[in-house]
Structure 1
């Protein structure tokens, strides 16, 4: 079995205990270098290795030899390897172990004469992983050309994990030695991402489902620890099965396929075996999960296939769930600071809603998109949000001070005092602007040349109802009904749906409310509805398509809406209508429910208006057939633009490849408005464009006089309307519609400035 048999016969538990005892006994009394030397001697002796070396990553990215047993001691702190240099650099780059029987023959081998490593052929290196990033490398070498077996590789990974934790915690090295070693973030950093929700805030970082650092790495009773692990795994599997069955737990918008992946991983023999072997080697169950998580994180982060890399999130969530089971934690009961900035790789809308709103100051995401439902919820709650911040989680520690700049799409980590002062000054200016918007709240939205614009707001949550009075919006132009379904662990009953819709109508009073029927399916999958996995969910069975395929689901919602609106006006619109026949079929279901209520003597709305959302380009050439069947239409620019330009708005690789202020988009919007005017069909715009002053200026210049904006956009858009002269603006816009440019954003900005429009 080779020289490593000595280790595997005894198991690494004794070795780990020796390291722990050496550190505990010497800490504070023995210089840091002597403690490191002691550690490498213990490892070399226990693994019967002629060389044991520890390299740590400096802030420059170089790997410095910090301690060695078997190499030239004068090379310590004098040998530095550039990123990716040599076998040590390769271990750090891959963040994976490398085992070789003849190291000098490997193409990455780099000879450093000052170390005196000529005679050593066998090489085994393991990364010291912290947050999925290699902060150092542990190496053992032997003169004989031999290959280390799997158990020896397993042993050195376990040791490397313990060393990574102790190095980062300062247990191996004093803070003075760690000052220039990149083991933990400490310097100010600025990360540039994408703005998902407007606003500006600062506070303390709170890591969503934060990796729980094991308080105890080594166990005294491996048998008992393995039993703890098995019990936790059983509980984990049961909770996943319950989620899949929709019988318990809050899922939010997490796709069904993710839960299927959880189940697969939870039952995966390799994953379970890795955990069991880590526990048997002497780690606690928590430390075993942490180690396996780090290994998967490093392996998946280096994968070339984007789909494979995305599975990292699945591994992360699975490991975090298992750690919470072991700790007995309830994620919904976290104690947050009053100035919490929530930090996550990704987030579902239900996850965000679980946190106390009054303590959340901002949201930072490593992934996501501006069209994700977490971003939509953040905008509804007026929580500043920045996403697509690469490497965010690895650069932050719990409690770090951070700035969320939703105006520029940037995040500042551990900002300097002068940066904080600048942000506070900008926030004061924003407060002043908000006060100005408050003064405009009761002023009608009328242009300088006397044209009246109806300014509504979008909603979907009970908290949005407060924005009606606060913003001065004239009603709700889009109420997204799906959020009630997405935050529930089971299908909302008829009574629950009716109660919500009645609450919305009561809050609106005499102001109009337009309810959009369920827009689920695609990327909004509910755990309690069976769904087949689709290759292209954005173009799949979603919205009205799903409702028509499952008429009982849609009829229940329509019944709740009719009941809630008894004696009052009810406005209902169907999303993602692609054909006239789809609208006919949906409207027939409304008629069926009205007949059902009449036969039972139930009161109906005093006025019922049924509309369609124009989101599919196919309708642009069939408006003459659709409009006579509708009472109103609303343009959903978010989906309309992504379908027109064949660019998934949730995919950051393509979402910014087109500009809605381009001639093709503006011509399409102009045609819709003209056809509606010709047929006397009321039309509004309820997409994100309606909430941005410059884009809203383009819309009202095209003739739209009814806009529904996010709550945060009502004030800025109203100020723009009050400053606009539409007759003069339309003459300029007609010229731009004939442009051959890919975008006319700059020209529209120039036009607005020329006419003194406040955009």
Structure 2
């Protein structure tokens, strides 16, 4: 198809320049006066005419999003003028609504055949077949849609698609400036920035903090969008990319000593994204089309942000955010703000939509008291680094930044996963009391660090900790845990951009064993699949991922992956004891096949003269209820078992523990759950099979009290739970606890939590 003559003659930069000149003028911000609004409307009418002529389009229309979410026709060339400000489309309605929903362009040669086509007779658009629409993106959200149409069923080429996206970007800047809609109309909800509020989110890093909000602002949109000298802009872009990569390299040089292990690998992965060919190419093409280097980066940032918002997979969302974060850093470089340590007040609570690991490390740790995020995930890069630096962090706080102003007092509650904005004085007093109690408890737990966990009547309980990051190894000495009852090996895979090599896996496992010394370590093989998607393992969309091809199922289906991990574990444990267990065993045959793979790898190493572990113990995680009725066949094949209460409970009660609508429908302190645990413990006792608990129950004092009353003497808790659980054990009369537990097992109630709390008070337990 021949490119339209008008645009070819004048060139895309001239078109953009004409649009900017048409939009320029002395209207007041927010469109407060009628005269100003009329002036803005006239300029918008001029713009649609310019675009229609330049792109040889018979129709050009601009739709803008109102506060209600509806898309209103604001200007048109070619449709019925009477439809302007009268035609409104509901969210998602018609092709215009589809462009806004997807936040990406749509090109159709015959629009009326599309299932989303919506005919609005007042517009008079029925003769037009060809349709090209692009979203006006601001902050990753479509605040409007630009559309061109033609009668002929034509196909718009790639140059025209590029042109309309650049035009949409220019228009979005004007809309966002308040020249066409008042600020309140551009926001989804009008919110008071003054009253106290409590937001519930998700705890990413434990702890309590209070301070003043510091907004982690992305760079402001560039004022100059059009390049005077495209060749010079290419040079500026390349220089900026080089400076960006150098700044991350400097962080890497200092990051090994500061972070170590997995958090450091996060930075390495982040650095790889800066070299991504697709991202670099998109920036170069945007500059060559006539944009300044800043405008090219801003466009890429908005496009990635829109993709981020629509991605369903949490791993993909995290990767897309890395690109947006890189774009923000590159914009600062281009605008002369060289990366380095940023200034903060002494009591800063950093507030961001999301945050990259490099940005977080640029803030001075001594002044950064807490972190609040609108988005993110516990396995995201910001959360991993926050835990490594022991910064309290709460994420998934919807609408957070709209509710805050710079300097607002803020509380970060990493214990409950909440944020308190502009808290009342009584809330600050209560928080201060909690922080003092926390400090007192920390001092008490420190004193108990080297004290064995022995009940009042002389029963020794082994308290271990769960881990998954290199930084978690410090918790062994800090908490006094007697070993690692569960090391989650998948974290190394989740933060990597490619499958970790055998040498990298071996090095991590050796580091863990070295840190543990003579203390036992139980490695859980890869628990991936389901919602833990790795891009280099060809992810498959499943209707019910929690019960799909994950954990040992994926390992048995992909034996090379599991055998590589087993080989790394055997190599790392040369001359020492190796404890390895397989997750989500649902049948005895699955465990038999997995154990045979261990035997084959040991034989492979033996034939090659490799040093084998001094002792190899192989266990199974009991997470699937099916094993409750097949323990007599399973236990003789195992060296030990560990109960994963998190999954076992959600499968028993058919309630997804990550779904807030159903997660509270059951209580693990209920008779059926406690009886199931008791049955497992009794079968293990009968067969002399060591058994431990490694789910969240083991880290909560009341729940741990119930577990030891059932006869469990090996608990693996999160690091934060080791101290509280050990203190509870030291105050427990175990014989009295077992007597008190017996009648509760026969209860018909849905929960015996209240009865257990009464029993704990009666026995004067330290809970």
TM-score (norm 2): 0.68
What is the rounded CA distance, in whole Å, between the counterparts of 2:173 and 2:263 in structure 1?
Answer: 33
1:416 equivalenced with 2:413 (yes/no)? no
What is the rounded CA distance, in whole Å, between the counterparts of 2:351 and 2:520 in structure 1?
Answer: 32
For structure 2, the residue ranges without an aligned partner over 5 or more in a row are 245-261, 543-547
Question: How much does 1:392 deviate?
Answer: 6.5
> CA, structure 1 residues 383+454, in 2 after alignment: closer, same or farther (shift >3 Å)?
farther
1:515 equivalenced with 2:522 (yes/no)? yes
> CA, structure 1 residues 585+689, in 2 after alignment: closer, same or farther (shift >3 Å)?
same
What is the rounded CA distance, in whole Å, between the counterparts of 2:46 and 2:746 in structure 1?
Answer: 78
| 1:241 aligned residue | none
Question: How much does 1:690 deviate?
Answer: 0.9
1:362 equivalenced with 2:371 (yes/no)? yes
Question: How much does 1:615 deviate?
Answer: 2.9
Shifted more, 188-197 versus 147-156: the winner is 147-156
Q: Per-residue displacement from partner, 1:380-431 (whole Å, max 9, x unpaired)?
A: 765544455556789899999865433443345xx33638x83574155134
Q: Which residue, out of 535, 538, 559, partners 2:550? A: 538
For structure 1, the residue ranges without an aligned partner over 5 or more in a row are 112-116, 237-248
Q: Per-residue displacement from partner, 1:523-552 (whole Å, max 9, x unpaired)?
A: 66889xx85656644255556987887546
> CA, structure 1 residues 404+557, in 2 after alignment: closer, same or farther (shift >3 Å)?
same
1:43 equivalenced with 2:54 (yes/no)? no
Question: Equivalent residues in 2 for 1:246-285 (5 A)?
Answer: 266=278, 282-284=290-292
What is the rounded CA distance, in whole Å, between the counterparts of 1:207 and 1:184 in structure 2?
Answer: 22
1:688 equivalenced with 2:696 (yes/no)? yes
Question: How much does 1:435 deviate?
Answer: 1.5
What is the rounded CA distance, in whole Å, between the counterparts of 1:85 and 1:478 in structure 2?
Answer: 46
| 1:467 aligned residue | 475
Question: How much does 1:702 deviate?
Answer: 1.5
Q: Which residue, out of 439, 445, 469, partners 2:444? A: 439
What is the rounded CA distance, in whole Å, between the counterparts of 1:124 and 1:424 in structure 2?
Answer: 58
Give aligned pairs, total.
699
> CA, structure 1 residues 317+482, in 2 after alignment: closer, same or farther (shift >3 Å)?
closer
What is the rounded CA distance, in whole Å, between the counterparts of 1:75 and 1:56 in structure 2?
Answer: 14
> CA, structure 1 residues 431+627, in 2 after alignment: closer, same or farther (shift >3 Å)?
farther
| 1:585 aligned residue | 596
Q: Secondary structure at the match of 2:187?
A: coil
RMSD, matched Cα: 6.2
1:610 equivalenced with 2:635 (yes/no)? no
> CA, structure 1 residues 653+161, in 2 after alignment: closer, same or farther (shift >3 Å)?
farther
Question: How much does 1:516 deviate?
Answer: 1.3
1:426 equivalenced with 2:427 (yes/no)? no
> CA, structure 1 residues 52+626, in 2 after alignment: closer, same or farther (shift >3 Å)?
closer
Q: Per-residue displacement from partner, 1:667-693 (whole Å, max 9, x unpaired)?
A: 332122112333444432122221123
Question: Equivalent residues in 2 for 1:609-648 (5 A)?
Answer: 610-617=617-624, 619-624=627-632, 627=635, 632-641=640-649, 644=652
Question: Equivalent residues in 2 for 1:112-123 (5 A)?
Answer: none
> CA, structure 1 residues 92+81, in 2 after alignment: closer, same or farther (shift >3 Å)?
farther
| 1:562 aligned residue | 574
| 1:182 aligned residue | 187
Q: Per-residue displacement from partner, 1:457-476 (whole Å, max 9, x unpaired)?
A: 22344433433443343443
Q: Secondary structure at the match of 1:433?
A: helix
Q: Secondary structure at the match of 2:503?
A: coil
What is the rounded CA distance, in whole Å, between the counterparts of 2:297 and 2:631 in structure 1?
Answer: 58
> CA, structure 1 residues 547+473, in 2 after alignment: closer, same or farther (shift >3 Å)?
farther
Q: Per-residue displacement from partner, 1:45-79 (whole Å, max 9, x unpaired)?
A: 42358999877656565778989999999999x98
What is the rounded CA distance, in whole Å, between the counterparts of 1:371 and 1:314 in structure 2?
Answer: 12
Q: Per-residue displacement from partner, 1:642-690 (whole Å, max 9, x unpaired)?
A: 5556666667787666653444432332122112333444432122221
Q: Secondary structure at the match of 2:573?
A: helix
Q: Per-residue displacement from partner, 1:159-182 (whole Å, max 9, x unpaired)?
A: 332232244356x489xx536642
| 2:723 aligned residue | 715
| 1:576 aligned residue | 583
The answer (yes or no) to whether the contact 1:195–1:386 under 8 Å persists in 2 is yes
What is the rounded CA distance, in whole Å, between the counterparts of 2:291 and 2:24 in structure 1?
Answer: 17
> CA, structure 1 residues 543+64, in 2 after alignment: closer, same or farther (shift >3 Å)?
closer
> CA, structure 1 residues 7+286, in 2 after alignment: closer, same or farther (shift >3 Å)?
same
Q: Secondary structure at the match of 1:610?
A: strand
> CA, structure 1 residues 223+541, in 2 after alignment: closer, same or farther (shift >3 Å)?
farther
Shifted more, 664-673 versus 33-42: the winner is 33-42
> CA, structure 1 residues 212+487, in 2 after alignment: closer, same or farther (shift >3 Å)?
farther
